[in-house]
């Protein structure tokens, strides 16, 4: 890598919401950025154009993170076209909300496969490369639902709790290789996903939050990039909750 080349960051689920904010923040902080998205090409192209305006290089690909082969192809393409991955952020996630008594098997499995399986696939495809280079930083995005549980979201809560356990175990595995792994647990953030929640839920959450409001994706992204940076060089295996005072 040339001396003036930016470090490379990879973000799963980077076209909307928290992922979009993270991609933009990484570019502003001096990274070249690769991101994948599920289906919204128009949104992805808009984010890519925003990254290019910062002077960073960008690579956007449509990838099903639940498909290990697609993820491996994406990760290999990033390293080939942009360079060695120094920072990894897993944001991609879906919701299929319904009480357990009414939940379809496919809705349970889809959420587990994307939210938890996707984190495994992205990290699995990247981690050996990081280990060989003996360095790198990973941030997985969980949720307060993975800490406290959320009624009507047993599949989502289980997937997000699984991410926390996965992150803690991975941090212990790869710490000796100089790789740090932390997880971020956002509270209720104003994104498209919030619009899919039951009517009135957001209002109730806002009333229970110490700061009295919902969060913005742009308030999450700087915490992610801090965790990736050398300023957090002695921080690994941690769950950092950013929820406006909802759960303390």
Per-residue model confidence as pLDDT tens digits over 217-234: 999 999 999 999 999 999
Q: Is 141 helix (H, G, I), strand (E, B) or coil?
A: strand
Q: 163: Cβ–Cβ under 8 A, 6 or more apart, which residues?
A: 90, 115, 116, 119, 140, 141, 142, 146, 183
CATH topology of domain 8-242: Rossmann fold (3.40.50)
- Predicted confidence (pLDDT) per residue in 75-104, tens digit: 999 999 999 999 999 999 999 999 999 999
pLDDT band at 191, cuts 50/70/90? confident
What is the Cα–Cα distance from 24 to 85, expressed in whole angstroms?
Answer: 17
Tell me the pLDDT tens digit for each residue of 36-67: 999 999 999 999 999 999 999 999 999 999 99
- For the CA atoms of 123, 174, 33, 56, the dihedral, rounded to the nearest 10 degrees, stands at -170
Number of neighbours of residue 190 by Cβ within 10 angstroms: 15
Helices 17-28, 41-53: axis angle to 10 degrees equals 20
Q: Give the DSSP H or E segment for 81.
A: helix 68-81
- State both tokens at 173: 């595995």
Cα distance between residue 80 and residue 248, in whole Å: 44
All structural domains of the chain with their residue ranges: 8-242
Please tell me the pTM assigned to this model.
Answer: 0.95
**Cα 79-88-22 angle, rounded to 5 deg:** 115
Percent of the chain with pLDDT over 90: 90
Q: Which of the residues are catalytic?
A: 156
């Amino acid at each position: 890598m040339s001396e003036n080349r930016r470090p490379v960051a990879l973000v799963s689920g980077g076209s909307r919401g928290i992922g979009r904010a993270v991609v933009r923040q990484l570019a502003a902080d001096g990274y070249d950025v690769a991101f994948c998205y599920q289906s919204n090409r128009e949104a992805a192209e808009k984010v890519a154009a925003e990254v290019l305006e910062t002077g960073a290089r960008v690579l956007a690909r449509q990838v099903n993170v639940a498909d290990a082969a697609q993820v491996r192809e994406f990760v290999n393409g990033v390293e080939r076209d942009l360079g060695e991955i120094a920072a990894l952020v897993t944001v991609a996630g879906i919701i299929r909300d319904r009480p357990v008594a009414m939940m379809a098997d496919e809705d349970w499995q889809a959420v587990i496969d994307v939210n938890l399986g996707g984190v495994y696939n992205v990290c699995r495809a990247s981690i050996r490369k990081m280990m060989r280079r003996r360095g790198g930083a990973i941030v997985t995005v969980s949720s307060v639902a993975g800490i406290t549980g959320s009624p009507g979201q047993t599949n989502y809560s289980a997937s997000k709790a699984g991410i926390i356990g996965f992150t803690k175990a991975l941090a212990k595995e790869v710490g000796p290789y100089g790789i740090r792994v932390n997880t971020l647990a956002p509270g209720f953030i104003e994104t498209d996903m919030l619009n899919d929640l039951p009517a009135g839920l957001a209002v109730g959450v806002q009333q229970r939050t110490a700061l009295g409001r919902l969060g913005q994706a742009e308030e999450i992204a700087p915490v992610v990039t801090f965790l990736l940076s050398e300023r957090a060089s002695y921080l690994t295996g941690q769950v950092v909750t950013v929820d406006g005072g909802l759960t303390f």
